Amino acid sequence: MTPLPPKSSSYRSINRQVGRAIGRYGMIANGDRILVAMSGGKDSLTLMWTLSERLQRVPVDYQLHAVYIDPGFDGSFGEDLAVYCRQAGYRFRWERTDHGPRAHGPENRENPCFLCSWNRRKRIFEIAEQLGCNKVAFGHHKDDIIETLFLNICYAGEISTMKPVQPFFKGLFTVIRPLALVEEDLIRRFARQQNFPRFRNPCPSASGSKRSDIKNLLDGLYKTNKKIRGNIFRAIRHVNPEYLFT
């Protein structure tokens, strides 16, 4: 788990932006036990690596517990992910479920992603309680937050998105998103440089979800003006209620 050399711009940028998010939103404190929700993708691998690397040099003591909730599709990469995490020295728990096939059953064809995600999140909180974790870290990044805003506008009819820090169950757990200020392209570059393993997502909805549609829409906008991504992200924090319906 050797860090990238200081000359790597992606390492320096991610480290700076994660540090800024943790400091600005008070994400991590001494004695925290943090469940890191692993998906096998570049985002959660970057999150786990970054939080582990920070432990070696910041004056804050916390514990990390990597947890992968396997949705239960054929072609699972759970065993390979377990090998990688254990070789990296992570505390790791892998739990196979039937969330994916059930969510894609005939009675739930309209929105399988919502049900699968809801069941996964429920199980993550249950495991967090078992492990004595007070915080749950997700690998959502800046682009995920923007995409969620548009998903909720288009498909839920409300203006909302994910917050960098969010308490749940009257403060029993706090969800944190240390990558909230980091753009996806930077994470993608970092993952290549760090040579993270690449796992094929066996979910049948992986390439045809509503989120994919929103991502494609936004990518088209970004190509027309490089300032659009930043302006949308700033708009989330600069809401003028005087010009909104109530």
CA distance 64 to 54: 11
User: Could you tell me if residue 52 is inside a domain?
Assistant: yes
Q: How confident is the model at residue 209 (pLDDT cuts 50, 70, 90)?
A: confident
Q: Looking at residue 232, what is its pLDDT? A: 97
User: Could you tell me if residue 1 is inside a domain?
Assistant: no
Query: What's the rounded mean pLDDT across residues 148-157?
Result: 95
User: Tens digit of pLDDT for each residue in 2-60?
Assistant: 444 455 789 999 999 999 999 999 999 999 999 999 999 999 999 999 999 999 999 99
Q: How many domains does the chain fold into? A: 1
User: Could you tell me if residue 61 is inside a domain?
Assistant: yes
Residue span of the structural domain in which 62 resides = 9-243
User: Could you tell me if residue 195 is inside a domain?
Assistant: yes
User: Could you tell me if residue 2 is inside a domain?
Assistant: no
Which carries the bigger pLDDT value, residue 192 or residue 208? Answer: 192
For residue 110, pLDDT over 70 is answered with: no
Global pTM reads 0.92
DSSP state of 13: H
Q: How many CA atoms lie within 13 A of 222 on its CB side?
A: 15
Query: What's the rounded mean pLDDT across residues 174-178?
Result: 98
User: Tens digit of pLDDT for each residue in 59-109?
Assistant: 999 999 999 999 888 888 999 999 999 999 999 999 998 887 787 777 766
Bridge-based pairing of strands 63-70 and 92-96 is parallel
Q: Provide the CATH number for the domain around residue 97.
A: 3.40.50.620
SS3 121: helix
CA distance 210 to 107: 19
Q: How confident is the model at residue 167 (pLDDT cuts 50, 70, 90)?
A: very high
Bridge-based pairing of strands 92-96 and 173-176 is unpaired
